[in-house]
Structure 1
Amino acid sequence: MNEAAKLRNIGPKSAAWLRQVGLRTREDIAEAGPVEAFMRVKRAGFKPTLNLLYAIEGALQDCHWQEVPDARRTELVSAAEAAIAGLPAPRHKPPAGPVRTTVLTADTVPERPDEA
């Protein structure tokens, strides 16, 4: 049975993310806490928004995510930002080299053997 999908505020996509990081039941999520649950999803490579953080908190408090008090949202965001700051920096590809523009004129267009 998929309990995460039955939690208030948790839609199919969020439930799938939570399952994939090992949080399958309300008890699993409560034990991890909203910030750790959010961070597990983020560390797994998904791109959750803060709405997931609020949704998890709302699910644990059995209220709509928009009813999470502003003070609590601020606490959650501060804790998530601190946790995100502790993540390793993403690896980026090196920037591409300089771009050269070539202007073709009638004198510089190569001949094509198929146009003979």
Structure 2
Amino acid sequence: MTAEKLRNIGPKSAAWLRQVGLRSHDDIAAIGTVEAFMRVKRAGFKPTLNLLYAIEGALGDCHWQEIPDQRRHELVSAAEAAIALLPPPRYRPPAGPVTTTVLTADTVAMRAGPDDSDG
């Protein structure tokens, strides 16, 4: 069975899973729900908790909304703990506006203060 045919897994999620090397129910079951979710996240995609629940439902062959609240909390806690271990993002926010300062001879003289070299 391919990831595309797993219950709860839509085309976009199936593509993400395939791109991280998870092509079958057995592939996902071998690493578990949270690790499958984390592989997608570490690959640079932006999965939501819906993917976490969808994977769990796919492995349990149930609709993701049927996952008990206690299990959902366990999954979220485990995912949050794994996310906290990720290195910080490498990008930096864009810099502020660039300003150009032009110094004229008068401005330089004013900043230098009185000339103390004569005495």
TM tier, shorter chain? Answer: 0.7 to 0.9
Q: CA deviation at 1:95?
A: 4.8
The one-letter code matched in structure 2 to 1:31 is A
What is residue 28 of structure 1 aligned with on the other side? 27
What is residue 13 of structure 2 aligned with on the other side? 14
Give unpaired runs (5+ residues) of structure 1.
Answer: 101-116
**Where do residues 16-95 of structure 1 align in structure 2 (5 Å cutoff)?**
16-95=15-94
Give unpaired runs (5+ residues) of structure 2.
Answer: 100-119
Q: Deviations over 1:45-103 (max 9, x none)?
A: 00000000000000001100011000000000000000000000012325523566xxx
The 4+ residue runs of structure 1 with deviation greater than 6 A are: none
Normalised TM-score (structure 2): 0.78
**Which of structures 1 and 2 has the bigger CA Rg?**
2
The one-letter code matched in structure 2 to 1:67 is E
Provide the alpha-carbon RMSD of the alignment.
1.4
